[in-house]
Amino acid sequence: MMVSSAGPNMLVTNTDSVAVVQLAAEHERAMMLKIRQSQGIVETTEDRQRDKERKRVADKFEDMRKEKHWSEKKREEMTERDWRIFREDFNIAYKGGQSGLPIRNWEEADLPETLMKAIEKQGYKKPSPIQMAAIPLGLLQRDVIGIAETGSGKTAAFTLPMLVYIMRQPKMTEEIAAEGPYAVVMAPTRELTQQIEEEAVKMAANTDYRIVSVVGGQSIEDQGFKLRKGCEIIIATPGRLGDCLEKSYAVLNQCNYVVLDEADRMIDMGFEPQVMAVLDAMPSANLKPDAEDAELQTNKVYRTTYMFSATMPPQVERLARKYLRRPVVVTIGSAGRATDNVTQRVMMVKENQKHTMLDSELSYVDDKRVIIFVNTKKQCDNVFRHLEPLGYSCTVLHGGKDQTQREQGLAGFREEKYTVLIATDVAGRGIDVPDVALVINYDMPGTVEAYTHRIGRTGRAGRKGAAITFLTLQVSYGISWS
Ligand code: ADP
Ligand code: MG
């Protein structure tokens, strides 16, 4: 690395674009001064003050200058990195097949007006993370396995694409109704089916779709009677729906939209045979081909299966393997977080003790990989200047670096050419860094989210990690722990 004459900043190379910008600014100032002098204009203190303020603001936004936040971008402007940050922000993780892109807001789902109105009426301002991920997949009729905790809005996540699917089918005449519903939702208990029914009724408020619930504890004859009148959607417990099929109160000859809600609980309660009996009663000719590269016929209706589960025990996996086709696995929230594996420590320090504390913490980690997070580009350079002479092989990642430099630094870190990465949040997020032994928050992050993201860099893939945070008393930059 060649050090330029731009100043004491050891990181500035002769190819550094920021250095070029700074040099240009410097140049401009000198020119202005010359012009002023030649015209006899004296630089006032106000001028100087203004220049200083400009420089301060510029420094402050150094890190942000290069990259707009994803929320300020149009959908088509989103880069791969933006999507990665978006997924991190909402704790969305995908596994399996081509996943497609999540929606960032309701508009992007491109739902029919009737459904948008229903959503608005419910006061759902933004989709929840599982909705962001699962709705577009459902609209593409991809099979989905959703792993998300209770209360995360799973019902609307499958109800909305289900309603869109039904809208695409021929209107249900009496004749069509004789072949059974277009969609079936199964859940382990009566209470759950009731909750699903309530939500489905709200979302379908502006349609004339009939929703029938088929659960134990009520007269099976009454349910049979309702079913014979026809309905688009059945919401059922597997046992009772199985009984209805056996007694020919229900048929599923045209059911191609299936939801298994709380699959693990259904299995726990011993419903596996009943669930399978119901699934086997549906036309199997409509199952999508299993092969990875199989083409789907455009004029054919395929079965779409949605499965939700908090956990994935072997029986649930078996069920998924048998009835789902190339499912996308979406994991939301703490299920995808590694924080349980991370030992977290906070140390009260004075600003001027940070260097010493850092040295002592680093002395314990041998040559394992460490990430040091700081809040500003300036602090990045400060830490680098401290560590480099001590013999640490460090690399720096901040918004002042261009894409190539960032990638080179990161590659070096991955290959352990560098063992210490010093980064700001802006640069350090959305990048795929390998598991590290230790994360040091040299500066306290400004938000809880930033803290979570930072420490999420360690303790990955089931390994143990550690995080240390230096906390100073002069917390002047307004931490919002909300
Ligand atoms: P889950 O099935 O994941 O346990 P539910 O689908 O029952 O969760 O939803 C939990 C609660 O959140 C319900 O009261 C539902 O009305 C509400 N809800 C769902 N989606 C949203 C949203 N996008 N915005 C606000 N509230 C929502
Ligand atoms: Mg639910």
User: Which residues' Cβ are closer than 6 Å to ligand 1?
Assistant: 124, 127-128, 131, 150-156, 195, 199
Q: How far apart are CA 408 and CA 17, in angstroms?
A: 15
Q: Does any domain span residue 447?
A: yes
pLDDT of amino acid 460: 65
pLDDT of amino acid 334: 58
Same domain as 319, residue 252: yes
Ligand number nearest to the C-alpha of 261: 2
Same domain as 315, residue 220: yes
Q: How far apart are CA 415 and CA 457, in angstroms?
A: 16
What is the side-by-side order of every strand in the sheet holding 394-397?
A: 342-348, 465-471, 438-441, 370-374, 420-424, 394-397
Q: Does any domain span residue 279?
A: yes
Considering the entire predicted model, what is its pTM?
Answer: 0.67
Ligand number nearest to the C-alpha of 200: 1
Residue nearest to atom 17 of ligand 1 (CA): 153
Residue nearest to atom 26 of ligand 1 (CA): 124
Write down the number of H helices and E strands in the chain: 19, 14
CATH number of the domain at 441, please: 3.40.50.300
* Ligand 1 atom with least separation from CA of 202: 16
How many structural domains comprise the chain? 3
Same domain as 252, residue 106: yes
Decide if 192 contacts 262 (C-beta within 8 A). yes
SS3 468: strand
Same domain as 226, residue 315: yes
Same domain as 244, residue 203: yes
Ligand 1 site-directed mutation target among 199, 201, 202, 235, most atoms within 8 Å of CB = 199
Range of the domain at 385: 342-471
User: What spacing in Å lies between the alpha carbon of 55 and ligand 1's midpoint?
Assistant: 47
Residue nearest to atom 22 of ligand 1 (CA): 124
pLDDT of amino acid 236: 96
Write down the residue that tokens 């500035």 correspond to. 12
Residue nearest to atom 1 of ligand 1 (CA): 151
What beta strand segments (E) does 321-445 contain?
A: 328-332, 342-348, 370-374, 394-397, 420-424, 438-441
Q: How far apart are CA 91 and CA 85, in angstroms?
A: 9
* Ligand 1 atom with least separation from CA of 131: 23
Residue nearest to atom 23 of ligand 1 (CA): 127
User: What spacing in Å lies between the alpha carbon of 150 and ligand 2's midpoint?
Assistant: 6
* Long-range contacts at 289-294 (CB < 8 A, ≥ 24 apart): 289/325, 290/325, 290/326, 292/97, 292/326
Decide if 39 contacts 401 (C-beta within 8 A). no
Backbone phi, then psi, for 112, in 5-degree steps?
Answer: -60, 150
Same domain as 459, residue 414: yes
* Ligand 1 atom with least separation from CA of 196: 7
Same domain as 442, residue 328: no
Nearest to 235 by CA among 179, 286, 162, 172: 162
End position of a domain, from candidates 313, 332, 351:
332
Residue 77: DSSP 8-state: G
Same domain as 98, residue 189: yes
Residue nearest to atom 25 of ligand 1 (CA): 124
SS3 394: strand
Same domain as 311, residue 176: yes
Same domain as 293, residue 369: no
Ligand 1 site-directed mutation target among 115, 119, 122, most atoms within 8 Å of CB = 122
Same domain as 351, residue 310: no
- Using CB atoms within 10 Å of the CB of residue 470, give its burial: 0 to 12 exposed, 13 to 18 middle, 19+ buried: buried
User: What spacing in Å lies between the alpha carbon of 264 and ligand 2's midpoint?
Assistant: 12
Q: Does any domain span residue 232?
A: yes
User: What spacing in Å lies between the alpha carbon of 155 and ligand 2's midpoint?
Assistant: 5
Computed on alpha carbons and rounded to an integer, the radius of gyration of the chain in Å comes to: 29
Q: Give 233's contacts (C-beta < 8 A, 6+ positions apart).
A: 162, 166, 181, 182, 183, 184, 185, 200, 204, 209, 210, 211, 212
pLDDT of amino acid 406: 77
Nearest to 480 by CA among 453, 438, 451: 451
- Give the helix/strand (H/E) hosting 139: helix 129-139
- Which residues of the chain, if any, have pLDDT below 50? 1-18, 335-336, 338, 476-482
User: What spacing in Å lies between the alpha carbon of 386 and ligand 1's midpoint?
Assistant: 50
Decide if 328 contacts 137 (C-beta within 8 A). yes
